[in-house]
Amino acid sequence: MANDDTRRKARSDYIYRRMSGTTIALLYNVSRSTFGRWKSNAKKKGDDWDIARSASIIAGEGIEVVVSTVVEDFMVMAQSLLEEIKGDAVPVDQKVKHLVSLADAMTKMTSAAGKLAPSISELGVAQDVMRHLLDFVRAEFPQHANVVLEILEPFGERLPELYSQ
């Protein structure tokens, strides 16, 4: 059985080093469910590790990193749901319900992310415009596509810097 020192180290690794629960369980030779129980028990006592983790990220790197991480996690879960829906195990009426719910959730997630971290939203629009410009040039002026790409690639590397202010 793990002692309090192990729990404190696990908490610290989760919050400040942003390690996953699975990694921490392996590191400290405990089960994934034990780690989950530690988090749950701490939360019942007013120590929410997830809130502390988010606060640490915000303090260190800003809200954009938190929002970006949440959006990434959401998209991974959405992709997982889509893969599940593609199978034959889910009846068609349930597939439709899942897709409608997912579309609604994605709309809300996108809106919230844009409001919380507008620079992420702006960066996404800028990257999308660059992609559409390159597609346009390839379709309408294919002889110039390589030159435009040669310009857009280094410019694309500047976009995060321009929209992180």
Of 14, 30, 53, the residue that ends a domain is 53
pLDDT digits (tens, 9 = 90+) for 66-111: 777 788 888 888 888 888 888 888 888 888 888 888 888 888 887 7
- Same domain (yes/no): 112, 126: no
The domain in which residue 98 lies consists of 62-116
pLDDT digits (tens, 9 = 90+) for 132-150: 888 898 999 999 988 988 8
- Same domain (yes/no): 79, 101: yes
Q: Within 10 Å of residue 138's Cβ, how many Cβ atoms? A: 14
- Same domain (yes/no): 43, 71: no
Angstrom CA distances, 74 to 17, 62, 144, stand at: 21, 19, 38
